[in-house]
Amino acid sequence: MSLVSVRGAIVTGLQGISGLRVHDHIPDGFNEFPAVAVRFWAANYTDSTYTFRLLLVAAGWNVAAAELALHPYLEKAGASSIRQVLCADPNCLPLAAGPVERKLLNGLPYMGVDLTVVAKDV
């Protein structure tokens, strides 16, 4: 596999979550919510892994409301669980998520959370 195919597999898996808008890059802005953008973060050539940061965003600027809107996607399991989708690929390991916080992207405000994922290049 290659970096492109590993990223593609993550994107394809996430597209299976109903109601979640998936981007294979950081867009100039988010128009539909909730949304997730897959970003390449690092490569470890020693153990042939790629690290990705997934930016999960919700509409609104209120921390409490946005956090509650994101909870189904941050659950360990369930129909909307990003972790469950990623764990379905044996070469993909979701490591961490958090915190939900206000973020600026291209000057536009969002409520979001970063998820860190390591994928093995096999």
Residues 110/112/88/14 CA torsion (nearest 10 deg): 0
Q: Which domains does the chain have, with CATH numbers?
A: 3-120 (3.30.70)
Asked if 120 contacts 42 with a C-beta cutoff of 8 angstroms, the reply is: no
| Predicted local confidence at residue 1, as pLDDT | 67
The tens-digit pLDDT sequence of the chain (122 residues) is 689 999 999 999 999 999 999 999 999 889 899 999 999 999 999 999 999 999 999 987 777 788 888 999 999 999 999 999 999 999 999 999 999 888 888 888 889 999 999 999 88
Burial class (CB in 10 A: 0-12, 13-18, 19+), 37: buried
| Predicted local confidence at residue 64, as pLDDT | 79
Best CA proximity match to 74, nearest among 42, 97, 54, 107:
97
